[in-house]
Structure 1
Amino acid sequence: MNTPKDEVFNKPISKQFEFDEEVASVFDDMLNRSVPFYKENLNLQIDILKNFLDKNDKIVDLGSSTGTFLIELAKKTDKKLSLIGIDNSPAMIKRATHKAKAFGVKVNFVEADFLEYDFSNSKAIVANYTVQFVRPLKREKLIKKIYDSLVNEGIFLMSEKLITENKKLNKIMIDLYYDYKKKMGYSEYEIAQKREALENVLIPYTMNENIEMLKNAGFKDIEVIFRWNNFATFIAFKR
């Protein structure tokens, strides 16, 4: 499928970042150009997850956006699975549903607030660059809900942007990420505009804060399966 180019921040912004129709229309390109090794990490998660899944298992993607993760999972397994994507953006749900139909895979996309929606009895729950958009006051409650919604031996995959406690290192990592985005074709103006739009919307934690949050919810065997600079993916198990 052809993906329109992300030019959302090529003009002055008038509001905070939100997942509206304008963003949804270019979101696949935005991910591929803004998140380092996005496709490779997604495929790694799927290749690991497939080994733990059985027929009829329920897999839920929180903040499923345009549905890429669940669609790729459906394409890469012969097992009959219950695939559910939850997103509160009507524009994202519309595009995800259209994309799943185009690829001929069965995925149920639900427009809902995952803080309120019931996704209990899940074998696996995925949150790729989603938790960082949840207000810190509600974040631990969400992670506990995720833990409680998993069956025993269930799996949680979480990708997040990180900060570090070392201020100098944190600045270096941010600068390296900006260099990456320039290499991916974003102008300094676009980078600055997006940074301003995300101010107080995307609130990252440190590596240790994320791990502690997972432990506090009850998760065991927490591992980092991917990391590039200030991006990381965690896998955690319910025992």
Structure 2
Amino acid sequence: MKKHSPRDTLFRVDSINEDFVFNEHVVEVFDDMLDRSVPFYGEVIRSSARLLDCFLHSGDTVYDLGCATGTTLLEFSRILERKGLHFIGIDNSAAMLDKARLKAKIYSKEDSLDFLKEDITTIHHPGTGAFIVNYTMQFIRPLKREEFVQRIYSNLRPGGILLLSEKVISHDRRINREYIDIYHAFKRSRGYSELEIAKKREALENILIPFSIDENRALLSNCGFQSVETYFQWFNFASFIAVKPA
């Protein structure tokens, strides 16, 4: 599904005056930012859709926590149209949700998608078939993550799944450094300058705090998930499936 978004030039500046925030300026260029900043973003969505097709039943509800402009759910609604699922996006940014609703209207998906303005850390939607958390938990303070995942677990139906995608770190310093260098080369290949890469990294330094793959696995297991596996990895980006016991 083709995304239409102005080009991301937010960090083509000499100095950063504040940490990264999801304000109206970010919303305007967010789709372009994702497309150029998250490796294989489209493939992660398609792979996630395959897992939803395998694990969910007709009539199940899928919640995308931190849904932003709705790109993931729009793709799910297209790929899984015959599955009979309900798709609901949750975000605390009114500007993000306005754009998500506009995109749903443009693609004639208003009947397939709903969007709610809520705090994802206080959700109460019991009986859910699946939760999607794409590159969102990394912005939640580490001390709050177990409570967040436990809430997701409690709201899933038996046999339900969490699909979690995150930026990750390696505790091997050399490997971690090499992964970061490879990622920056990827961003340069997508048209970002060295200045933009450096300034965005500066803005995110105290906001985006990644865990390692092992730390994410342990967190999910500690919250009760029976099976936890990675289903996609590209250097310092990884996606996990966590299954609640049936």
Scaled to the shorter chain, the TM-score interval is: over 0.9
Distance 1:167 1:41 in 2: 27
Residue 79 of structure 1 and its aligned partner are, at CA, apart by 2.9
Residue 178 of structure 1 and its aligned partner are, at CA, apart by 0.7
The answer to whether the aligner puts 1:171 opposite 2:173 as a matched pair is: no
Match of 1:196 among 180, 199, 202: 202
Give 1:50's aligned amino acid. D
Q: Which residue of 2 aligns with 1:89?
A: 93
Residue 76 of structure 1 and its aligned partner are, at CA, apart by 1.5
Distance 1:26 1:192 in 2: 18
Residue 2 of structure 1 and its aligned partner are, at CA, apart by 2.5
- C-alpha contact (below 8 Å) 2:123/2:151 kept by paired residues: no
Deviations 1:63-97 (A, max 9, x none): 00011111111112223322111111111111111
Name the stretch that deviates more: 49-58 or 130-139.
49-58
Q: Which residue of 1 aligns with 2:8?
A: 6
Gapped regions of structure 2 (runs ≥ 5): none
Gapped regions of structure 1 (runs ≥ 5): none
Give 2:107's aligned amino acid. F
Q: CA RMSD in A?
A: 1.0
Name the stretch that deviates more: 53-62 or 200-209.
53-62
The answer to whether the aligner puts 1:35 opposite 2:38 as a matched pair is: yes
Runs of 4+ in 1 over 4 A off after TM superposition: none
Distance 2:83 2:230 in 1: 26
Give 1:10's aligned amino acid. R
Distance 1:55 1:81 in 2: 6
Residue 194 of structure 1 and its aligned partner are, at CA, apart by 0.3
Secondary structure in structure 1 of the residue aligned to 2:120 = coil
Q: Which residue of 1 aligns with 2:65?
A: 62
Identity of aligned residues (%): 46
The number of residues matched between the two structures is 239
Give 1:33's aligned amino acid. R
Secondary structure in structure 2 of the residue aligned to 1:210 = helix
Distance 1:179 1:69 in 2: 25
Distance 1:163 1:46 in 2: 26
Residue 200 of structure 1 and its aligned partner are, at CA, apart by 1.1
The answer to whether the aligner puts 1:229 opposite 2:231 as a matched pair is: no
